[in-house]
Structure 1
Amino acid sequence: MKPNTQQLTELTTQVRRDILRMVHAVSSGHPGGSLGCAEFLVTLYQKLMDRKEEFKMDGKDEDLFFLSNGHISPVFYSVLARSGYFPVSELATFRKINTRLQGHPCTHDKLPGVRMASGSLGQGLSVATGAAQAKKLNNDNHLVYVLMGDGELQEGQNWEAMMYASAKKVDNLIATVDLNGKQIDGPTEDVLNLGSVKAKFEAFDWEVVEVLKGNDIDSIIAGYEEAKAKAGKGKPVCVLLHTEMGNGVDFMMGTHAWHGKAPSDAQLEEALKQNPETSFGDY
């Protein structure tokens, strides 16, 4: 049975605790975007995707997910572990020597759930487009999801993939843009203004769904049900997910400063107070 909103909310709180503790333990990592995407990834893996419990790299007969903005690996690893792909206790090895949980996900350590090496931004949409087209060629009627950052759209390869996906009618592809308006150097509108992302995707002949409350689980569910309803009708689908970087920790919100900075001992203590331990338990 799929979890309800209350259960998803509790798991999201636990995932936030995982993110904060993982990054703090090694004084390294990217908490801001990870916290901002916690609700989305929890909901995707626990509610929205049709996935198998056993991970197989060929991904046949199941929905697939590709993480393009690989620097938000803390939330990805936490959700994978909490979804049963590998032991939750392994989260304690994040960014340590000989760990499978590298700072940016990689495939050579064969960590279950990781389908591509990412972190070199701008590549995930191309990979996901290829995987989605392969499913169509193999008569596999499942969806392929990919998550990208909004700052990542400043990479030109994305636009080639957008053009290709629409031209080839890769309509089993649902691409999500994390629209938090911030990147490592500041607000995206100051670094390199993207203008209307919605208008750009529509100009490339994509269907576009906007989720204005990207940190609200019910809004996420409604938005992706709409996206899934639009899939399979000749056009790829883009979901513009409006999120808050650092969501759930008041002093990390409203700024790009926590893109890639670990909290101090005192900051961790305060952040965890805002996200009390849940029935899932810390690793």
Structure 2
Amino acid sequence: MDIQSFSATYWYIWLLVVLVILILILLNGGGILLYHKNRQKFIKEANQVNDNNIPMRAPSTISTINMNNKPNYRKMSILSAVTRNSSVTNSKVYPELNTRKSRRMINSLPNITTINKVVRTSQARPLSPLSDDMNEKADEMDLSLEEFQRQALAEHNFMRAMYNKSPLKLTESLNIYAQYWAEQCARTNIIKQSRPEWRLQCNGQSLGENIISIKSLQPFDGSYFTSLLMAKGNQSKEVDCILNEVSTEVGFGRAQTQPNDDTQQVQWIGVAHYYPYRQLTAVQS
């Protein structure tokens, strides 16, 4: 029997073979499309904030926090409702800070009892990521989150006093949100501002936010965090947040990134939230 007669007699076998080949091709193509779709979804989710999966640092009096019922600024009784004075425009530009003079003033200050007798000069020095005895210094400078927050508050109020601004009050609810966002940025290794709706629902008033990072293995102290923000310049948003006339309360957070490979460097991320906040009109965001 030749091929032609075989094909005429058993045509259904050829049809079955063709159908099997088509099915295999379709399955292979569908698998490839599904793989790319899931991969893109995974990458997208990795760079997004997931409020239900990411824990945030709670104060020592709170054992666990359910992110489905995360604190709402509208319901926080601990935040005082501040009535803004309509005459306050906060439109003037802060004068330039005499860096050399202020540095001498900082170094001449005595021990600060409000931050557990930490000498200001020891906290204002820059971190040196490339130091040979880095690990030893890291052990000596192992600072808790609470210590970081007290240092940052003391340094913030020191800077505000130089410009005749009233001192800020450290608020636990703002600490929680600042620490939460610092850990979010550390998880994704992306330094960015938090979502605007978070900062626009605080008793009907907006929140100011400062965020900055530094590549270092040494613990990030609150004084150096404030110094990095002030170094942005007298017309920057960072300085405007620190010296804002209407702000009365503040919260701080700090977290460390965990690099996925050797090409990424460890970073410390510092976050500050200010309540209430009115942006300086001369500041370019």
TM-score category (smaller protein): under 0.3
Taking CA–CA contacts closer than 8 Å with sequence separation of 6 or more, which of the two structures ends up with the larger relative contact order? 1
State TM-score, norm by structure 1.
0.28
Question: For the pair shown, which has the larger CA radius of gyration, 1 or 2?
Answer: 2
State TM-score, norm by structure 2.
0.28
